[in-house]
Structures are given as structure tokens and as C-alpha cells.
Amino acid sequence: MTYRETNLVASIERLSGAPLVALAQPQRDHVDQFHAGGAEAVDRLLPGLGLTPAMTVLDVGSGLGGPARQVARSAGCRVVGVDITPAYVEAARALTDAAGLSERVGFECTDLAALDATEFDAAYTVHVQMNVADKTRFFGEIARRLRPGARFAVFEVCRNGAAEPVLPLPWSLDGTDSHLVAAEELRATIESCGFELLDWADESAWIRQWFEQTPARVAAAATRALLPALLQDGPRRMTNFAAALFGGVVSVHRGCFTRTRAVRPIA
């Protein structure tokens, strides 16, 4: 399993030289967004979700909770994050407490299939389905938890051909939990699970720019508390991801869908 880090809060505090509560928002953004594009990627997802403060939103594979807190801050809504990695959920809760958002942002350590709550007003998932072999089941489980008409957004890594990206990668250390599919296959799978397509965009060029700007971003951050420093073999994983993108081996796609009325039962 790839997500093996523990004691993340202690690591963040050691790297930043300050307690979590003393970190300003821009400092948290450098450490809690576990995907290419950082907080800007979440900004690009938000318009498609059409959120209002009255809504409750599901974040599938919420990681350290950076996207969930950003969505709650931006839209004024409530967010429920689910993730299967206990240490990430623990860190997400601590970071949310430190940000003063615990009343509106909560996290459950569970597989989505075991989540009781349904009737969410919207959902999104960011850099998660690469870990999921049975994507029909995964997106079907999401559809079942949304009210009809709810929006669903994805920001995901896809393969471009037969070539495999070099390991380790941010989502997989040894390849056993990497299940990349082509963008068209991903989009068609989501549509087959009870979603109607609203928008589908290849974000690879923008993500390549984001990687190119990484040195300047790191210098401006003036902190050692950066996501790659938290992760096992983090810098190599990020470098391999960037190389796969620049080499055209993988792409990054953003999609937005509406949950239709017909959702097929999970087998």
C-alpha cells in the first residue's frame, strides 16, 4: 500500500517549525493538497459544482483535507470527506481544527461502500480513481450517495497509451495499486454509472505549466513544510509524475457531470 506515512501533524510542525494553529492559509496550501495543481486545481473545479452555502458536499478520497477545507471556505457549504487511510484522516481532522472549520468540515475513515449517508448535494474526487481497479463500482457508489440533479466533479490522471509511467508515483510506490485508464474510458465509465456529462477538459498543458513553476512556488513559500517532504520518497514520486506528463505518458483531465435519475444497482 502506498499511503504509509504516519504522525503527519508532527512532521508538518517539525518541518514548519511552528504548531499547526500558527500556520497561515497559504502555508497550509503547500502541504495539504495531495494532487497536481494544488489549490488552483480546486479553484478550477469549483465553478462546475454550482455550490451554495446550504449544500452538503461529499469529498471522496479526501487525503489531508486541503480540497475539502478550500471548498467549504469558498462556497460556505458543509463538506464530508471519506478516506481509507487512517493517518490521513487524523491529519485532516487536526488541520481542520487548526483552521477553525470543524463545524462545517468533517472526515470519516471508511471505504465509500460503507458510508451510510446519502442525498449529498454534490460530490468531487481529486486524484483518487488511479488507485481503484473497479471503477464502475467506485463511481456507482458515488452516484448512489447523490440526490438526482447533483453535480459531480473529477480531477484525474489518465494514461495516454500503452507506456507505463516510471515508478514510484505520487499515487503508487510499486505499481500494484495503480490502475490508470485512458481519458475516454474514464469519462465513459463515469457516464455509465448514472452521470450525464457537462464539461470535460484536458488540463495537461496547464498542469505542465504548474510543474514548471514549482521551483518559483517553493522559493516563494519560504518553508520546508511542503507535501513532497511529508511523503515517503516524495520528491522522486513528484519528479516521475512530472516526467510522465511532459513525456506524454499520462494526462490530467477535469470533468463535471450531473447525477441523472437512473442509477443502476451495485452488483
- Contact positions with ligand SAM (CB under 6 A) in 219-248: none
Exactly one of 40, 43, 97, 111 binds ligand SAM (CB under 6 A); that residue is: 111
Q: Tell me the closest approach of the beta carbon of residue 82 to ligand SAM, in angstroms.
A: 6
Q: How far is the CB of 125 from ligand SAM (least distance, A)?
A: 7
> Nearer Cβ to ligand SAM, position 7 or 149?
7
User: Cβ neighbours of residue 245 under 8 Å, at least 6 residues apart?
Assistant: 36, 204, 207, 208, 211, 251, 252
Residue with cell 472526515: 107
Q: Is 33 in the site for ligand SAM (CB under 6 A)?
A: yes
Angle of the 204-212 helix axis to the 234-246 helix axis, nearest 10? 130
CB 50 within 8 A of CB 151: yes
User: CB atoms < 10 A from the CB of 205, how many?
Assistant: 11
Q: Which cell numbers in the block locate residue 130?
A: 488511479
**CB-wise, 121 or 141, nearer to ligand SAM?**
141
Count of residues near ligand SAM by CB under 6 A:
23
**Rounded Cα gap, residues 247 and 165, in angstroms:** 9
Shortest distance, CB of residue 167 to ligand SAM, whole angstroms? 15
- Taking the least distance from each CB to ligand SAM, the nearer of 23 and 128 is 128
Does 182 help bind ligand SAM (rule: CB under 6 A)? no
Angle between helices 86-98 and 8-16 in degrees, nearest 10: 50
Does 35 engage in binding with ligand SAM (CB under 6 A)?
A: yes
Mask 50-69, x = binds ligand SAM (CB under 6 A)? -----------xxx--xx--
Q: Choose one: 12-20, 128-136, 146-154, 212-220; the region binding ligand SAM (CB under 6 A).
A: 128-136
Here the cell at position 56 is 452538503
d(CA 130, CA 250): 11
Report the chain's C-alpha Rg in angstroms: 17
Contact residues for ligand SAM, defined by CB under 6 A: 3, 33-35, 61-63, 66-67, 82-85, 88, 111-112, 126-128, 131-132, 170-171
